[in-house]
Structure 1
Amino acid sequence: MNFEKARFNMIEQQIRPWDVLDTSVLDLLAVVKREDFVPAALRDKAFTDVELPLGQGRHALPPRVEARWMQELQVKRHEKVLEIGTGTGYLAALLGYKVQQVFTVERDAALAAQARESLRRAGVLNVTVVEGDGAKGLPGEAPFDVILLSGSVHQVPQVLLDQLKVGGRLGAIVGDEPAMVASITYRTGEREYKRENLFETVVERLPGFEAGSQFTF
């Protein structure tokens, strides 16, 4: 398979039509090799517009959603980021290229180990994979400039919002099928938050974020 051609087609046919026009994001997608982060048996399908199966009922986010998050969050070089739901580690790698430090929490031990190895092989050294319960965040490393939930949640838990810096932002896809919306919540003060809805989509629920088990601000 011609991976470079497939990567080009993914960017031009999936990513751009989904309003991802930030050239720094598009250039990054051309550099970070998505096929090196998916299960070996699925390398030929790494660029398809689907949630690729990762085992144990888990799936990777579609490329267009990953790219849209990279554009909307507008991460900066000096920032520290927390990702909840490592999955393949690909989105953590994209973030790692753009920011100072990334912590990514994965509940599944096998996925965490695979992501850690993929990141090592890719030479992404500023991403730390932590095996644990993402619903609790990572309070020992807080506060964060950016928190990203790489999956959907019924509600955004207050415990994660509390781990944002004032001026920080949290990206999450919130709701229940068939109505979910990607949003960014900005922490504007010690107890003040502002939410901006971005786009509608439907993605897999993050483990540990089942309906009714979380609290919003």
Structure 2
Amino acid sequence: MPDNSSSTPSGFDRRAFMAGAAGSALVPITARAAAPDPPAPAVQDPSAPVDVTLNVNGKERRLRIDARTTVLDALREHMGLTGSKKGCDHGQCGACTVLIGDRRVVSCLTLALAAEGQEITTIEGLATDDRLHPMQQAFVDNDAFQCGYCTPGQIMSAIACVKEGHAASEADIREYMSGNICRCAAYPNIVAAVKQAAPEILKG
């Protein structure tokens, strides 16, 4: 007949052992549950002003601005450079186009903090002394504007278009200038201006 006792011949009590093991296993869990929660990390106020240094048209400009300020608002509201226009404010019309490095960007969607340490060129930085930039002169020569609101963005985009190698044909110019809208529909004249200025820009 089998022995149902929990004790072994050596005197080891299995039931007592299991009860003790279960009890000790609960101790760490209880201790962890009772431990206080770690303090939550401090949340920085996104509207708090931050220091930023922007290199605009060859000059360093130190600003203290809201971290959410765009390049466009930094230029217009904090530096008085109003050549770059606020059109749609959604990156769709191209009126706010500036160059960061040699790359054209819509400044209404680019944070000023993201442009720190890079060269920003606006329409105000193109002319030297009393001499217009070749693209500016070409826009004048070809009547490539009417109301003029989109013209700064058109010119900045056109310079990048040429430097990117997209001014070899009228079809290319139309394609790679399509991000800049002219509500006056001066597109044929804009294409003519880009064609005129391209050789001089590429010549350097």
User: What TM-score do you get using the length of structure 1 for normalisation?
Assistant: 0.28
Query: Which structure dedicates a bigger proportion of its chain to strand?
Result: 1
* Higher relative contact order (CA closer than 8 Å, sequence separation 6+): 2
User: What TM-score do you get using the length of structure 2 for normalisation?
Assistant: 0.29
Question: Which protein has the larger Cα radius of gyration, Structure 1 or Structure 2?
Answer: 2
Query: Which structure dedicates a bigger proportion of its chain to helix?
Result: 2
